[in-house]
């Protein structure tokens, strides 16, 4: 009897451990791909590219179109939902893809550990190298060398529900431009049926995208220019946090639950009509305008700046990089250049509402039809992102502190001062 129980337990434990192992097939598939890479005498080239969800379709189409023009080159595109995690695992197994379309804020870290190929000379040779946004170029730079090139920018902008505006007696074509106006509008828009303003304060990705521009427009910053010290303990950053605390606790236009919202929840709150204003990204703008969330009439504007003067935006999205293990960087670079050509940037990105990385392509047939995209272009011009080699790690105390202040467990000053201390000790390690 005892033995039966024991063997039953053992088999269940073994089964349980196996069911947790579904994800491992990715590594074995990739090693097969790597083995297939060859540069034989007849110049057959096969490269792998990993992309995040948002840009997978574009990369796939780009690889197909490129193959038509260059039949000897095959670019195999794979979608990775947790790209950074998978890339890290692949690097440690010497199994990484040749090209990667990665979250721009992580490029500094991967450049610093030598995972990416230096492409400074190649970028400098490009005709349109000056058409990229400063913010994105800065993120692709490490120790004055270029390791990535901007591909698919995503910027944060303010969205508002025009119907709600009309019902509240506000001009549906005029968005709030200052912090005071934001409060004024939000108070009018907060009713029993919907909250005036929401944002995603639950995770680093959502928070940085939708809150940090408020710090910037107040002439503050998260880190110093070189990313070596935190500036959260400065009055400019504290004021921005205080403003957000006031939205929830003083003016009561934002429910405290935004403390746990990720990007999807903030989007859902807005698209279900439960919130009148929200800061989202250009990708979300397209999905909403495309009717994916039903009939909702929206307006777009730049994120309200403190005094209506210094407008900013968080410029994230993807950059393309060649990893250190790439056996054929010349072909990889040729493909990357193709991804930056009009064929892809306009026909594939712009047509579907994504902003081209090159400002010389902003004037295109698709954008000229949609005035909303003028706003996203403006946002890209003023877009920036904090530069850090320890991006996720340094963001954790930021998030903890902000959430504590919003839940009134600390004052804004206490929260950001202690966050800055923790961040500094992380950066010093």
Partner 1 sequence: MSIVHIKNKKGETLNFLFILPAVLLNLMFFIWPFVRALYMSFYDWSLMGNKKFIGLGNFIEAFHDEKFINSLIFTLKYAVIVTPCLFIVAFALALLVNQNFKGVTIFRTIYFAPVVISMTTCSLVWLWIYNDLYGVLNYILDKLGIISENILWMNSADTSLPAIVFMITWKMAGFTMLILIGAFQTIDEEVYEAASIDGASKIQKFTRITLPMIKSYIALAMIISVIGSVLAFEQFSIMTKGGPSSSTTTTVHYIYNTSFKYFHFGYGSAISMILLVILLGLSYFQMAALKDPTDN
Q: Which residues bind partner 1 (CB under 8 A)?
A: 1-5, 8-9, 12-14, 16-18, 21, 24, 82, 84-85, 88, 91-92, 109, 113-115, 194-195, 198, 202-203, 255-257, 259-260, 262, 265, 268-269, 272, 274-275, 390, 392-393, 396, 399-401, 403-404, 406-407, 409
**Residue with Cβ nearer partner 1 (101 or 259):** 259
Hey, how many other C-beta atoms are within 10 angstroms of the C-beta on 224?
A: 13
Identify the sign of the CA torsion 209, 210, 216, 217.
Answer: positive
**Residue with Cβ nearer partner 1 (242 or 323):** 323
**Shortest Cβ 3–partner 1 spacing (Å):** 6
Please say whether the beta carbons of 137 and 383 come within 8 A: no
**Residue with Cβ nearer partner 1 (255 or 299):** 255
**Residue with Cβ nearer partner 1 (1 or 35):** 1
**Shortest Cβ 115–partner 1 spacing (Å):** 6
Q: Which residue has the tokens 């998260």?
A: 222
**Shortest Cβ 198–partner 1 spacing (Å):** 8
**Shortest Cβ 31–partner 1 spacing (Å):** 13
**Residue with Cβ nearer partner 1 (229 or 390):** 390
**Shortest Cβ 267–partner 1 spacing (Å):** 11
Please say whether the beta carbons of 289 and 298 come within 8 A: yes
**Shortest Cβ 49–partner 1 spacing (Å):** 20
**Residue with Cβ nearer partner 1 (315 or 388):** 388
**Shortest Cβ 266–partner 1 spacing (Å):** 10
**Residue with Cβ nearer partner 1 (241 or 361):** 241
**Shortest Cβ 10–partner 1 spacing (Å):** 11
CA distance 68 to 72: 9
**Residue with Cβ nearer partner 1 (94 or 290):** 94
Please say whether the beta carbons of 358 and 292 come within 8 A: no
Q: Which residue has the tokens 């400002």?
A: 359
Is 363 buried (19+), middle (13-18) or exposed (0-12) by CB count in 10 A? exposed
């Amino acid at each position: 009897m005892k033995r039966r129980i024991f063997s039953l337990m053992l088999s269940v434990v073994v089964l349980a451990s196996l069911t947790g192992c579904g994800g491992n097939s990715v590594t074995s598939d990739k090693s097969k791909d790597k083995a297939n890479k060859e540069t034989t005498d007849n110049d057959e080239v096969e490269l792998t590219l990993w992309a995040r969800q948002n840009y997978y379709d574009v990369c796939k189409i780009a690889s197909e179109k490129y193959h038509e023009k260059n039949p000897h080159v095959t670019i195999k595109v794979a979608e990775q939902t947790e790209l950074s995690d998978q890339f890290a695992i692949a690097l440690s197994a010497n199994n990484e893809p040749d090209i990667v379309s990665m979250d721009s804020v992580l490029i500094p870290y991967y450049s610093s550990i030598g995972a990416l190929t230096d492409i400074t000379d190649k970028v400098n040779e490009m005709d349109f190298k000056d058409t990229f946004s400063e913010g994105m170029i800065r993120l692709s730079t490490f120790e004055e060398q270029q390791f990535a090139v901007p591909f698919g920018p995503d910027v944060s902008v303010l969205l508002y529900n025009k119907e709600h505006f009309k019902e509240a007696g506000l001009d549906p074509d005029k968005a709030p431009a200052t912090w005071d106006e934001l409060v004024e509008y939000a108070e009018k828009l907060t009713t029993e049926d919907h909250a005036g303003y929401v944002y995603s304060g639950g995770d680093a990705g959502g928070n940085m995208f939708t809150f940090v521009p408020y710090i910037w427009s107040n002439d503050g910053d998260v880190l110093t220019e070189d990313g070596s010290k935190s500036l959260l303990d400065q009055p400019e950053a504290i004021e921005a946090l205080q403003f957000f605390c006031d939205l929830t606790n003083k003016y009561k236009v934002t429910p405290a639950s935004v403390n746990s919202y990720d990007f999807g929840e903030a989007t859902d709150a807005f698209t279900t009509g439960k919130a009148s204003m929200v800061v989202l990204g250009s990708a979300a703008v397209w999905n909403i305008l495309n009717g994916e969330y039903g009939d909702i009439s929206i307006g777009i504007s730049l994120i309200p700046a403190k005094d209506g003067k210094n407008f900013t935006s968080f410029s994230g999205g993807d950059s393309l990089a060649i990893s250190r293990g790439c056996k054929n960087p010349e072909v990889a670079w040729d493909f990357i250049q193709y991804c930056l050509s009009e064929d892809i940037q306009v026909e594939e990105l712009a047509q579907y509402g994504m902003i081209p990385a090159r400002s010389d392509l902003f004037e295109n047939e698709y954008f000229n039809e949609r005035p909303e995209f003028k706003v996203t272009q403006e946002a890209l011009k003023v877009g920036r992102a904090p530069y850090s080699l320890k991006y996720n790690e340094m963001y954790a105390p930021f998030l903890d502190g902000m959430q504590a202040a919003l839940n009134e467990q600390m004052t804004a000053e206490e929260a950001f001062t202690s966050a800055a201390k923790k961040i500094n000790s992380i950066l010093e390690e």
